[in-house]
Structure 1
């Protein structure tokens, strides 16, 4: 059986905890060959984003085209997209090369508070990219922006997931890390008919940089390997929980998660 391949379209994190670095690490740990198309180069570390140098939409398009023509990904994820023009270029490439399995992680704000997507880009994301999304993985603040809905309860989250489904997202997943309850965190998947909840213990740590990127990358890897959305959701949940629970404790700010932890546990149990 040939190796499965996944493409990440996202920004580079010089600190290695998020962006394409987190995505490639996650793909590798889950047995998928990872490829990348850079939207921007950032200067960042655990203390925050210090500068952003975006690619031109044309150069981004050339990267996607080069991968699509020769290596053809089985699944694609998007992360930091920066501008409306970039999103339009991505959609054009998806259409030209008939690339349909796209997981959208709508990265809007970095852990340190830096804005990574402007208002015009948000509207273009909703109008052009979300209708083509196999899955989307917003956290609660991102889901609020995308739906215009205040989210304070699980019922609010379910309504927001339905809103995203109406926008065209086949499988909305709304992560619950921003609203922990009773020392637990619950993530929610809507499959168009049923709501599926997965709850994990809340881990008190500041080392959570890149959790969103890692979760969507794990989901993408499993979809590339042929998992259905429910199995992919469960494995992505487990991967991220293990990555946070077995922290590396490096950096003086919001440190990265441990991308090795899931495979190490699997090897011990195997």
Structure 2
């Protein structure tokens, strides 16, 4: 019998396989952790957009929590797309009923084109009830701007944003800078002890970046499930993401998926 870290992803299904639960499962498999799923919704989508969404009933979300946590030894979890206020509340209720040692919240709120994915009431729940449960939150700049209700442009503004997000209750805050212009992609991690670290990688000219946020959060969850220190996980996560984007695969005719077969090694 092989002991294996066990995790759960709480998110929606991407029918084209590139993002959401689909990206999480590929990342978890790559990182050799066993993954369960709480499905918050089903989407009809492809690399060119989302055509339809069917959220999961709240009682089914809670039933999935009960089935998983009363049987599996779940030590870490991540949240992704939660769709609306009903689904957000169901997930919060599930996490209160079945707490996890490590929780990573990817506050999916804004589509790549800038379209809001959560209404105001759901955002308030994420902000004041879900984020305080998190060991790590991983907003991109657009999501950080929604949470803080202000623009974030400069390095100094990213640093202030990280501190303000930490004040909402998250222990560690990763503000992803991929939406900024420039030849480098720069992400900022504010650790629980107040220290800050910037992580940089060359910007890769490609539109095959579907599922980057999900994949990065899942990589962090896998490391936490192995009881690795966050400061050790992050450089490896940045390397993995850079390689998964750089060594692109030809799938679809729009914003294609990452290459989840990469090793993340130099």
Deviations 1:201-240 (CA, angstroms, capped at 9, x unpaired): 0000011100011000101111111111111222221111
Mean CA deviation greater in 39-48 or 107-116: 107-116
Aligned counterparts, 1:43-122, within 5 A:
43-111=44-112, 114-122=115-123
For 1:147, the equivalent position in structure 2 comes to 148
Contact 1:48 1:112 in 2 (8 A): no
**TM-score normalised over the length of structure 2:** 0.95
C-alpha separation in 2, matches of 1:114 and 1:167: 24
Mean CA deviation greater in 110-119 or 81-90: 110-119
Contact 2:8 2:36 in 1 (8 A): yes
For 1:7, the equivalent position in structure 2 comes to 8
C-alpha separation in 1, matches of 2:164 and 2:115: 27
For 2:176, the equivalent position in structure 1 comes to 175
For 1:184, the equivalent position in structure 2 comes to 184
Shift of 1:112: 5.0
**TM-score normalised over the length of structure 1:** 0.94
Shift of 1:130: 0.4
The alignment partner of 1:70 has SS state of coil
Deviations 1:150-204 (CA, angstroms, capped at 9, x unpaired): 10001100101001110001000000100033x1111100013111011000000
C-alpha separation in 2, matches of 1:149 and 1:109: 15
For 1:247, the equivalent position in structure 2 comes to 248
For 1:125, the equivalent position in structure 2 comes to 126
Contact 1:91 1:129 in 2 (8 A): yes
Q: Does 1:198 align with 2:199?
A: yes
Tell me: CA distance 1:230–1:202, structure 2 relative to 1, closer, same or farther (3 Å).
Answer: same
C-alpha separation in 1, matches of 2:36 and 2:113: 27
For 1:236, the equivalent position in structure 2 comes to 237
For 1:27, the equivalent position in structure 2 comes to 28
The alignment partner of 2:252 has SS state of coil
Contact 1:49 1:114 in 2 (8 A): no
The alignment partner of 1:102 has SS state of strand
For 2:161, the equivalent position in structure 1 comes to 160
C-alpha separation in 2, matches of 1:114 and 1:247: 26
Contact 2:75 2:101 in 1 (8 A): no
Gaps of 5+ in 1: none
C-alpha separation in 1, matches of 2:119 and 2:238: 29
Contact 1:180 1:202 in 2 (8 A): no
